Amino acid sequence: MLKLPVYLDNNATTPCDPRVVETMLPYFTEIFGNASSRNHSYGWAAEAAIDLAREQVAALIGADPKEIIFTSGATEADNLALKGVFEMYASKGNHIITTEIEHKAILDTCKHLEKLGAEVTYLKVDNEGLPNLIELEAAITPKTIMVAIMYANNEIGVINPIREISAIAKRNGVLMMSDITQAAGKIPVDVDRDGIDLAAFSAHKMYGPKGVGALYVRRKSPRVKVTSQMDGGGHERGMRSGTLNVPGIVGFGKACELSFQEMNAEGKRLSLLRDKLENALLQMEESYVNGSRTHRLPHVTNISFRYVEGEALMMGFNKNLALSSGSACTSASPEPSYVLKGLGLGDDLAHSSLRFGLGRFTTEEEIDYTIQAVTDTVNKLRDISPLWEMFKEGADMTEYY
């Protein structure tokens, strides 16, 4: 039986998998020790749980467990990577290269570093959401210390050519950092194969708990160092002090293990459901997929419906569809998505977009319901739109946009 509302905002967050919750529960009440308490069995049990989780998290991305630094989430990990490298490598340079459509955790941290003397190059992307690699290499200077480009975009699902990007960085002796939050657990990510030196990601995007994430920091070839941004007891090899969130980290580890085991089958299932949804919605006139349709995550589509406001669309669903018209971190803003604007979309299309993020618990019945609900609502709103009427009558619409 269909349960409403249908949840298709899995890019923003995912529900905790019941298997993850079950694994976490004992660490709230029975195995409640501080993992830094080395003098008794409660502490030892907590430390053993952390060690296992570190192995599970590392295995998901092909890392060594000693290269995993636990944080409160990907935002903190992004901050630690950018600020930590900026401080640690100050004698080498102060230049960072990123793109205009990164997550705000990267862009706002770069803006902060600019106030501290950093020079940041924000690369433009093409209409598919991909950076120009020739422009990337041309932007590198003797003072460049890092290239920071996300593995997959949170709004349009486009996957960047990370191996090619990292090869350019390596050729020029520059560190490669990637926010892998949307990709980890959804598609294969291997930090060695992909040439990544630092990677940020979080548990709640892969059916784990909120409030826990990790920063991968390469230990050899090259050995990467970051200056800690949280001082205290010297936890996490001195890079991130603070009592470890044992239940959260245990849940993160289990979420990574499950994602690793089920990724391929889940990706195939979700891509079929995504394609069914997308193909049905594109039957409507003036409907467009935003971003690349070939280099993208299997569970994401971002579609614009011209002559309809995205916010009006969502109101028209009568709260029966949980969707986003942008990323969760910027949804409070009335401005059109900066990611879609970065692709070259005009305000009309950027304002009329919906992001569909399918997930582990999405069913075909839910997709059928979504197709009907979105189609009905778009047609209803267009029926009362004077702009749609003018368009149908063949008017020149350029003066309105």
- Catalytic sites, residue numbers: 329
Look-up of token digits 């003066």: 399
Q: Which two tokens stand for residue 105?
A: 């955790």
Pairing assessment for the beta strands 198-202 and 6-7 based on DSSP bridges? unpaired
100 DSSP β-pair partners: none
Long-range contacts at 227-236 (CB < 8 A, ≥ 24 apart): 227/83, 227/84, 227/87, 227/88, 228/80, 228/84, 229/79, 229/80, 229/83, 229/84, 230/80, 233/36, 235/36, 236/69, 236/70
User: Which of these, 186, 193, 138, lies nearest to 159 by C-alpha position?
Assistant: 186
* Measured CA distances, 105 to 101, 108, 205, 210, 237 (Å): 11, 6, 15, 16, 24
d(CA 325, CA 310): 6
Q: Which two tokens stand for residue 298?
A: 């299997």
User: Which of these, 265, 345, 365, 268, lies nearest to 302 by C-alpha position?
Assistant: 345
Crossing angle (nearest 10°) for helices 104-115 and 74-88: 30
Crossing angle (nearest 10°) for helices 246-281 and 364-383: 60
Burial 191-213 (b: 16+ CB within 10 A, else e): beebbbbbbbbbbbbbbbbbbbb
> 111: phi > 0 → left, psi -120 to 50 → alpha, else beta; which?
alpha
Crossing angle (nearest 10°) for helices 41-61 and 246-281: 30
Q: Are 212 and 249 in contact (CB under 8 A)?
A: yes
